[in-house]
Structure 1
Amino acid sequence: MVCLKFINEVKSEEELRSLLGNPGVLAKNKVIDYLDDNCIEFLRKSPFLILSSANSSGHCDSSPRGDAPGFIHVIDQKHFVIPERPGNRRLDSILNVLENPQVGVLFLIPGLDETLRINGSATVIRDEHILENMKANGKTPLLGIAIEVEECFIHCGKAFKRSGLWNQDTWIEEAALPSAAKMLAVHAKLPDMTEQEVAASLAEAYRKRLY
């Protein structure tokens, strides 16, 4: 593999600011350190989030989490819990949190261009009286990721407007979409696992092991 060396790298905040400028007064003052009623309403209407974490060495991960709106359990103005639903058992986010509690969470609501960003400190919990509040399909999660809010703010919708993410007219036809089964089969390189077998395995997991 060729090692690419970039020639003109930005090395300082001073250089960065000279190119992109400083935030306006609204952007500078929009951050709060707790969940007000507006943020709580946003969380209760959001069916999807992206959880960003890093281990003690700084290696990063971003993990999607989703369920019916209201799946996030808000405890109070400083704390909320993300239920840990069944996944592939790699446990990337949880293992990172055990080493480094600092996380970032991006909440989305379909059709809304603005997103809610929350940064804070995470803990992996087993408290049954809390997890019981996030029961779904008759099953209580075994674990939850509890987050203490440190920063909370609305992010503008320019990225969604530029991408047209919610505009179905911009969506790729289903037949032309990338094949997850093909990618998994190629990346895993398991001799007895074909694309068709991976597709069947995924379909079974989606059908039987969502909760």
Structure 2
Amino acid sequence: MSVPKPTCKDKIETEDELRSIIGEPSELVRKKVISYVDDHCEDFISRSPFLVISTSDASGCCDVSPRGDTPGFALVLDEKHIIIPERPGNKRIDTMRNILSNPKAGLLFLIPGLGETLRVNGKAYLVKDDILLERMAHHGKKPLVGICIEVEECFIHCAKAMKRSGLWEPEKWSEKNSLPNAAKILIDHTKIPDMTEKELNNALQEDYLTELY
């Protein structure tokens, strides 16, 4: 007997239908959201070396992008404003282009070894104020642009995803030599003629050494 293939056609169309399946959040979950950066959130951000930022353009096309640096690289300016340095990257500027057309953004701050994460939602805009950029200089190099978040929501997210994934448990990690090969993936995706996997891997490693800041 053949087994039918699963599809994504059996869709949930309304929030009421979704609630009938998922249920309602607890009182603790409902009340945990605050509208500003308090001392706890500021301390969390000061310890975080990594975040992801989610944005979308005016038509709703979404993007999520990582940002990382030494702990505290994202600065809390006051209880309503956080600024993130835009370090050198691949110049696609997906996040920044989205912000120019739709200022809504979401942040997820992570601290290695800690299961709980900090979620921040708000309005984003791009800044070029030299005083702010100088505060975020690293190795004598200041970012060309900063991403400022005007905070609307802050809340702690529970550790269930981290515990399920074993993200911070080295014994659950794959062997390094079995991990996906970025150079091979890029060669297959870009199909640039006369470029070998070895050449591209060497170029990537050189870029990591010389272009981080």
Q: If the length of structure 2 is used for normalisation, what is the TM-score?
A: 0.96
Alignment partner of 2:94 out of 88, 92, 95: 92
1:59, distance to aligned residue in structure 2 (A): 0.8
The within-5 A match list for 1:30-45 is: 30-45=32-47
Aligned to 2:156: 154
Q: Which residue of 2 aligns with 1:49?
A: 51
Structure 1 distance, partners of 2:41, 2:201, is 38
Partner of 1:173: 175
Aligned pairs (5 A) from 1:83-122 = 83-122=85-124
SS at match of 2:140: coil
- RMSD after superposition: 1.0
Alpha-carbon distance, 1:198 to partner: 1.4
Letter in 1 for 2:57: N
Q: What are the within-5 Å matches in structure 2 for residues 73-88 of structure 1?
A: 73-88=75-90
Q: Does 1:131 align with 2:125?
A: no
- Residue 49 of structure 1 aligns with an amino acid whose one-letter code is L
- Does residue 15 of the first structure (1) align with residue 12 of the second (2)? no
How far residue 7 of structure 1 moved from its aligned partner, in angstroms, is 2.7
Counterpart residue identity of residue 103, structure 2: P
State how far apart, in whole Å, the 1-side matches of 2:194 and 2:65 are.
Answer: 28
Report the Cα distance in structure 2 between the residues aligned to 1:56 and 1:192, rounded to whole angstroms: 38
Return the TM-score normalized by structure 1: 0.96
Aligned to 1:210: 212
* Deviation sequence 1:162-186 (CA, Å, 0-9, x none): 0010000000001100001111111
Deviations 1:87-117 (A, max 9, x none): 0111110111011110000000000000000
Output the CA distance in 1 between the equivalents of 2:59 and 2:190: 25
Match of 2:3 in 1: none
Paired letter, 2:169 = N
> What amino acid is the match of 2:10?
N
Q: CA deviation at 1:5?
A: 5.8
AA at the equivalent of 1:58: G
Give the C-alpha shift of residue 138 in structure 1.
1.1
Query: In the alignment, what sits opposite 1:201?
Result: 203
Residue equivalent to 1:190: 192
Q: What secondary structure is seen at the aligned counterpart in 2 of 1:89?
A: coil
Q: d(CA) in 2 for partners of 1:192 and 1:104?
A: 40
Q: 2:37 aligns to what SS in structure 1?
A: coil
Q: Deviations over 1:139-190 (max 9, x none)?
A: 1111000010001100000000000100000000011000011111111111
Q: How many residues align?
A: 208
Gaps of 5+ in 2: 1-5
Q: Which amino acid aligns with 2:28?
A: L
